[in-house]
């Protein structure tokens, strides 16, 4: 049996909003559809025998289609891949690279939407960057450094942790719940130094700040061709307010509490050192005494600088540990992961809609009735609230000949093809895929 309470606690959005992502594995959903759906209209013996074959054929066809998509995306990504380890004689013109970049961003966005990710727009990104971080860090991010940034999230949830509060004088820890994104995918490309300089100058940045910004940007671009690459990153369980730590150009800053502590300890120590140094200089008559006073004053300043560097290193360690534990994949690996996730979502949506329609019989269901029954099925069997994407599911099923409809557009009712007919239709689709592959150059543009 499934632990419905655990599933609800993990995957339900904290504010109760519905999501289209189906947080159940494909195998578990198939088992329930095959063996635990008899409370609805029962299937006859022939339907029961052929339904597993329908499931297997549908998954095989989807795998073949997504494999072709994977090869196409890898080809489009090759000019921008920072991890490529093969040589090529091909030289891409700048106009061709721009066309490929537009195609790549467009196809990755479509792929993320197929995998039921939700895009964070600029306003939500800026809001997250301005929120207080959960790890006690203060991080700044300059979005001007990027030519283009995409951030998509999927599967909101809550995690429990402990945090010190000022009400207890930061002595005791209190349990708190933090809203997180279960999966987060970033796609970005840096601006070239010339473009960034022109943009900052157009914004009216003064010479000193412009020089400092460009100096930091050149330090970030360790590879001279970094602005030619497109970077893909995928993370897990990222707090909604901690987006800053995911940007490679983030800069660490001291929090207000740390500034107060450093000012209190460092300021008092420095003032005391200066007073002691001045008093010794005033009383000193020998050069050795003056030298010892200078050494002592230098030791005081060195201790304060060491204290500041210690806090900076501690912050970097916390940031590095957080990125290490939350990172899932990079670059080409992200493309493969997203294709697998999109494949899972497509299969689950198609199978769920098909079985619901098959159990309904010849009368069929309208679009809204099918949507309601699919959502009710997930609620009854997994205690999950979903916003089922019924239009996508019907579109895929109609394309493969698993669903037909009756009536006009306003009163259209959909009904499932019999498992025997569905198998025949999908076998024909498989032959069509094979025939198309003979005339398809998957490596076009390599």
In DSSP terms, 159 is beta-bridged to 178
Region of poorest pLDDT, from 10-19, 184-193, 220-229, 283-292: 10-19
* Integer CA distances (angstroms), 235 to 185, 203, 409, in order: 6, 33, 42
Q: What is the pLDDT of residue 216?
A: 82
The whole-number pLDDT of residue 335 equals 94
User: pTM of the predicted model, to two decimals?
Assistant: 0.76
Q: 310: which DSSP letter?
A: H
Give the residue, 9 or 350, on which the prediction is more confident. Answer: 350
Phi, then psi, of 44 in degrees rounded to 5: -80, 175
Question: Residue 320 pLDDT more than 50?
Answer: yes
pLDDT at 338: 94
Per the CB < 8 A criterion, the answer to whether 34 and 42 are in contact is: no
- Cβ atoms 294, 107 nearer than 8 A: no
Q: Where is mean pLDDT largest: 68-72, 246-250, 292-296?
A: 68-72
| 362 pLDDT more than 90 | no
Q: How confident is the model at residue 434 (pLDDT cuts 50, 70, 90)?
A: low
**Counting beta carbons within 10 angstroms of the beta carbon of residue 370, is it exposed (0 to 12), middle (13 to 18) or buried (19 or more)?**
buried
Q: Rounded to whole angstroms, how far apart are CA atoms 416 and 356?
A: 9
pLDDT in tens, 395-421: 999 988 899 888 776 678 899 998 999
Q: Which residues contact 185 (CB under 8 A, 6 or more apart)?
A: 112, 117, 150, 151, 152, 153, 232, 233, 234, 235, 334, 338
Higher pLDDT, residue 148 or 3: 148
Query: Residue 74: is its pLDDT beyond 70?
Result: yes
Percentage with pLDDT > 70 across the chain: 69
CA distance 286 to 48: 103
Residue 355, pLDDT > 90, answer: yes
pLDDT for the residue 26: 92
Per-residue pLDDT, 317: 64
Q: Tell me the pLDDT band of 90, cut-offs 50, 70 and 90.
A: confident
Average pLDDT for residues 294-322, to the nearest whole number?
A: 62
Report strand pairing: 173-190 vs 231-239: antiparallel
Mean pLDDT, range 198-217, rounded to an integer = 87
Categorize the per-residue pLDDT at 234 as very low, low, confident or very high, splitting at 50, 70 and 90: very high
What is the average pLDDT score of the chain?
77
Report how far residue 334's alpha carbon sits from residue 234's, in angstroms, rounded to the nearest whole number. Answer: 6
The pLDDT assigned to 187 comes to: 93
Of residues 112 and 273, more confidently modeled: 112
Q: What's the CA gap between 242 and 119, in Å, rounded?
A: 16
pLDDT value, residue 337:
93
Whether pLDDT at 226 is above 90? no
What does the pLDDT read at residue 180? Answer: 87
Of the pLDDT bands very low, low, confident and very high (cuts 50, 70, 90), residue 177 is confident
Give the per-residue pLDDT at 16: 37
Higher pLDDT, 157 or 358: 358
Q: Which residue has better confidence, 230 or 250? A: 230
Is a pLDDT exceeding 80 seen at residue 106? yes
pLDDT average, residue stretch 1-26: 52
For 13-44, the DSSP string reads -TT---BS---S-HHHHHHHHHHS-TTSSPP-
Averaged pLDDT, 156-178? 70
Q: How far apart are CA 213 and CA 405, in angstroms?
A: 61
Task: Determine the Cα angle at 55 with ends 49 and 56, to 5°.
Answer: 100
Three-state DSSP class for residue 159: strand
The confidence score (pLDDT) of residue 25 equals 92
Closest by CA to 426, choosing from 76, 108, 53, is 53
Report the number of secondary-structure helices (H) and strands (E) in the chain: 13, 9
- Does the pLDDT value for residue 3 go beyond 50? no
Can you read off the two tokens belonging to residue 369?
């009735």
CB of 339 closer than 8 Å to CB of 69 = yes
pLDDT grade for 309, boundaries at 50, 70 and 90: low
């Amino acid at each position: 049996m499934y632990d419905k309470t655990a599933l609800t606690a993990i995957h339900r959005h904290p504010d109760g909003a519905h999501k289209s992502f189906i947080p159940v594995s494909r195998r578990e959903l198939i088992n329930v559809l095959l063996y635990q759906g008899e409370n609805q209209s029962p299937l006859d013996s022939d339907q029961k025998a052929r339904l597993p074959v329908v499931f297997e054929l549908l998954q095989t066809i989807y795998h073949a289609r997504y494999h072709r998509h994977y090869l196409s995306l890898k080809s489009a990504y090759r000019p921008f891949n920072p991890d490529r380890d093969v040589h090529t004689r091909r030289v891409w013109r700048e106009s061709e690279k721009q066309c490929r970049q537009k195609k790549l961003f467009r196809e990755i966005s479509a792929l993320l939407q197929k995998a039921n990710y939700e895009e964070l727009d600029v306003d939500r990104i800026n809001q997250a960057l301005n929120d207080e971080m959960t790890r006690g860090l203060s991080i700044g991010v300059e979005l001007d450094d990027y030519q283009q940034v995409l951030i998509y999230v999927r599967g909101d949830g809550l995690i429990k942790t402990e945090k010190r509060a000022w009400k207890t004088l930061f002595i005791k820890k209190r349990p708190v719940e933090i809203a997180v994104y279960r999966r987060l995918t970033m796609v970005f490309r840096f601006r070239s130094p010339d473009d960034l300089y022109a943009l900052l100058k157009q914004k009216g940045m003064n010479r000193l700040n412009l020089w400092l910004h460009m100096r930091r940007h050149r330090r970030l671009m360790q590879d001279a061709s970094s602005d030619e690459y497109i970077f893909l990153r995928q993370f897990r369980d990222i707090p909604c307010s901690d987006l800053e730590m995911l940007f490679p150009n983030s800069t660490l800053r001291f929090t207000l509490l740390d500034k107060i502590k450093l000012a209190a300890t460092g300021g008092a120590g420095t003032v005391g050192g200066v007073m002691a140094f001045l008093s010794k200089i005033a009383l000193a008559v020998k050069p050795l005494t003056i030298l010892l006073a200078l050494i002592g004053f230098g030791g005081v300043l060195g201790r304060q600088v060491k204290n500041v560097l210690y806090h900076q290193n501690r912050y970097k360690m916390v940031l590095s540990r957080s990125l290490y534990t939350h990172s899932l994949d990079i670059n080409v690996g992200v493309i493969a992961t997203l294709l697998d996730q999109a494949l899972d979502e497509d299969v689950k949506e198609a199978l769920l809609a098909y079985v619901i329609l098959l159990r309904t019989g010849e009368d069929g269901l309208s679009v809204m009735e099918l949507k309601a029954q699919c959502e009710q099925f997930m609620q009854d069997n997994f205690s999950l609230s979903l916003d089922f994407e019924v239009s996508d599911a019907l579109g895929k099923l109609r394309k493969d000949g698993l669903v037909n409809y009756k009536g006009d557009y306003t009163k259209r009712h959909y009904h499932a093809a019999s498992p025997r007919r569905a198998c025949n239709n999908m076998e024909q689709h498989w032959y069509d895929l094979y025939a198309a592959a003979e005339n398809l150059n998957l490596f076009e543009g390599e």
